[in-house]
Structure formats: C-alpha cells, structure tokens
A and B are shown apart, each in its own frame.
Chain A
Amino acid sequence: MRITVDHGLCDGLGQCTLVAPEVFALNDDERLEVAPDPAPELTQKVTAAARACPVRAITVEGA
C-alpha cells in the first residue's frame, strides 16, 4: 500500500487522524505526518481515512 498526501491541498483538518490514528497524525503545527509502510491489515482503515478527507488530499495505491 502506497499513501500519497498532497500537502498543497491538505489543510490540517485532521479527519484522517480520527479514522486511522495508527498512520496519520498532525504535528504541533497542525501539519499532517504519515507513518511509513503501514501494516497491510490497516488497508481498510487507511482507505476509509482517505474517504474521510474533505479536501481529498490523500491517495492510496495498491490497497
């Protein structure tokens, strides 16, 4: 699974961090950080997090 975040679109709304906190987190400046190489069993959560992004900044490939 390959996760790409378009930081130009990402507004730090943090909706993905509520759905898949194992993979997505905001730093102290409310900028999004993504854990590298998430475990395959998180695939469903990660795709749900991408769908929960209001600005569609997250792309998931190979899910």
Chain B
Amino acid sequence: MVGAGLAGVRAGEALRAQGFSGKLTLVSDEPEPPYDRPPLTKQVVTGTLTEADIRLPGTAELDARWVRGVAAVGLDRERRRVRLADGTELPYDGLVLATGARARPWPGEVPADGVLTVRGLADVRRLRSALAGGAREVAVVGAGFVGVELASSLAALGVRVTLVEPFGLPLRVLGGSVPGLVAKAARRAGVQLLTGTGVRGFHAEGEQVRGVELADGSVLPARLVVVAIGMVPATEWLQGSGLALPSGRVHCDKRLFARTPDPSGRGDPRIVVAGDVARCDAVRSADGPVPLEHWSNAAAQGELAGRNLLAGPDTAQPYAHVPSFWTSAFGLRIRSVGLPGTGDRVAVEAGDPATDAVLEAHYRESRLVGAVSVNQGQLLAAYARRLHQAPEEAFLG
C-alpha cells in the first residue's frame, strides 16, 4: 500500500479479512500513525478531539510493516518495484495506490510566516500553535469544504474570521439554495464573508504576513491566512510509470485496476487504486468519470481495492457505491448523496430554505442525480436507494 490513510488501511484490512497471509507493507510520507481526516478542520481545531482520538483503530492487527515519513518517488511496473525517497526499493506482487492529495498551494509568492494550507495533522498543529501564539484575526481564502469548516471552527473559538471566496457563494458545488443558507449562517456566526472578491496576493512585514490584498486593491489585515483553494492529487511520483493520469489522478477501471494506455483497455492486474487519488470509471456523471474526495468513498473503495487485488481482474467485483458526504458548519448539518452539483434542475422536496431545514433534490433531464439536506438527514436514505436502484440510468457503473 502506498498511502496509509483511510483508503490504504481499509485495503490492508480487506486483504487480511480475505485470508491474505503474505507480507503487507504500508508506506506513508507522514510520520504519524494512520488517522481520520474529517475531524481535523472541526473538532481537532477547536480542541474537542485530540490527535490520539482520531487514530484509525485496528492497524496493529494488520500485522504489517510500516514505512513512515518516507515518500514514494517512483514506480517501475516492469520490475515491480516502488522507489522510496530514502533510496530503497520495495518489491511487490500487488500494489494499492492510495496516496490521496495535498492542499493546493497558492499560485504566487507567499510570505514565509503566517500563511498556511490545511490537509494533515502537521498543518492543524501549525494552525493551533499560531492561535495559541495570539493570532486573533484570521483570513481564510477559499470557501469550499475546508475553508468553510475552518471558518466555522475559528469563529467558535472567538477568532475574528474573514472568509474570502473569489467565485461566488460558499459551498457553491452543492447548488440550489444551500450555498445561500451557508452564507447567511456564516454571517450570523460573526464571520465577515466576502464573496465574488478576488485575491491578488499578500502583504508582509519582513517575512510575517500582515494582510491579504484584494482584487480592488484594498488590504484585509490578517496575521494568519489559511489558503483553502482545493487539493492536488499526489501523483507526480507516478510520472513515467506508464499509468494513465488524466487531470493528475490515477485512472482506474470499474473494478479499480489502474488503467494503462494499452489499446486492449485492460488495467494493470497487479495495481489497484482507491480514495482521493483515483478517477474511477464506475463513478460518473453524464459528462464522464468524476473524482470523489470524501471519507465514504475512501472507505468503500479501499475495501474493494483490497478484495479485488487478491481476487484478480477476472473475478473482481465492480465498484457500486452511491457517493455520500457530510459537513457541519455554523450550526448547519449538511449531508448529500449522489452528485448534486451535476444536475440541471433543483427542487425543494421537504422543508423550507428560509428555515435552515430543507431537502433539495437535483435532477438532470428529469433523472435524479443527487440530493442535499440541511438538518434533514433522515430523508436522504430514500434518495440513496433510488440512486442505487437505477444504476444504468444514473451515474453508477
């Protein structure tokens, strides 16, 4: 397993559960034992969960060899070896690619002190130590899931937060009236929300950031800036491996085997892919395969990747998973199933967007493609069932 987050660990567990008794090695470029990421921007920032609380359980029972704090830097499929940053090589009979993603860095110059991205435990430690050091005015650039969750957690800690989103409302990927609800709730929580406001760069005194320069030339004062503008799949080490890497993700077939440019269309029978790094043929909208960057996908895909690797391509099972995700911010409990952002029509099917309790269904050419709930999560299971029951018409397989 290259990558020892949720997807890699679930793959290892599945291999053992299926009776694999050979040698298992998990490689991670992070020094920590495996942990869960969803609480990082929420409970770990606010201090209600500790690092020990978010460790993934059961890793000792894997009976595995762990290589920690060492990145994979190359893959030689012909010789079946993974090259590591410390110069060693790991031979393999089967390989799980689960390297996930990194936070997308700011595409320009950044002062050395006071500008962070948040993806892993080390980032949250830096954030917490900046707060402990007295940072009381924080700017968050980017109102996707990470930016919104962080803004919510920081506001709950009493920090003055400005959330800047160049491209419109927060969580706009959810569509419908939910982004507007999130904007309203953010303002109610005391967050200064600047939408449709571009960012030119940063002002610094020496190496310490002092503010964010906005598109209109004004400067937003901040001693701490969190850049939350998305993620980049961690696949640069696979350049030259001969694997298909569309948009930087590892392309895998419906059974999670890594695809190659081989004209037969067959994947590499010794390599499976799971989690944020994957672009899987079995997860698609009407426009083609869609990458998923959610916990539930990493868990389900990791498990199937482990099973399918052991079974081999001929008896492997196709991936059939209804996407689902959750977030909580500013007192709103938001859940979704399917691919809500890919519809062409949104219908309020329960509740009322004016009351912070609503369910919206998303349709494309009158077919259900997804649903989003705010404080109405009890209604989603029925939508998930509908999405699961019409796979050939929806986005699955």
A→B interface (CB under 8 Å): 12-15, 17-18, 21, 25-28, 30, 51-52, 54, 56
The listed residue (B296, B300, B375) touching A30 by CB distance below 8 A is B375
The interface stretch among B115-123, B128-136, B248-256, B376-384 is B376-384
Any A CB within 8 A of the CB of B141? no
CA distance A17 to B337 in the complex (A): 12
Shortest CB distance B357–A (Å): 10
Report if B385 contacts A (CB, 8 A). yes
Contact of A13 among B303, B322, B326 (CB under 8 A): B326
Could you say which of A13, A21, A27, A28 contacts B335, with CB atoms under 8 Å apart? Answer: A13
Q: A52-B296, A52-B299 are in contact. Are A21 and B377 (CB under 8 A)?
A: no
A-chain residues with CB within 8 Å of residue B300 when the two chains form the complex:
52
Q: Which one of A15, A25, A52, A54 lies within 8 Å of B378 (CB-CB)?
A: A25
Bound-complex Cα distance A25 to B382 (A): 10
Select one of B295, B303, B375 contacting A54, CB under 8 A.
B295
**Which B residues are within 8 Å of any A CB, using their own CB?**
36, 38, 57, 295-296, 299-300, 303, 322, 324, 326, 333, 335, 337, 375-378, 380-382, 384-385
Please report the C-alpha to C-alpha distance between residue A37 and residue B296 in the assembled complex, in whole angstroms. 26
Query: CA–CA, A17 to B388, complex, Å?
Result: 13
**A21→B385 contact, CB < 8 A:** yes
| Cβ A28 vs Cβ B378 within 8 A | yes
Q: Are B295 and A18 in contact (CB under 8 A)?
A: no
With A12-B333, A56-B57 as contacts: A17 and B299 at CB distance below 8 Å: no
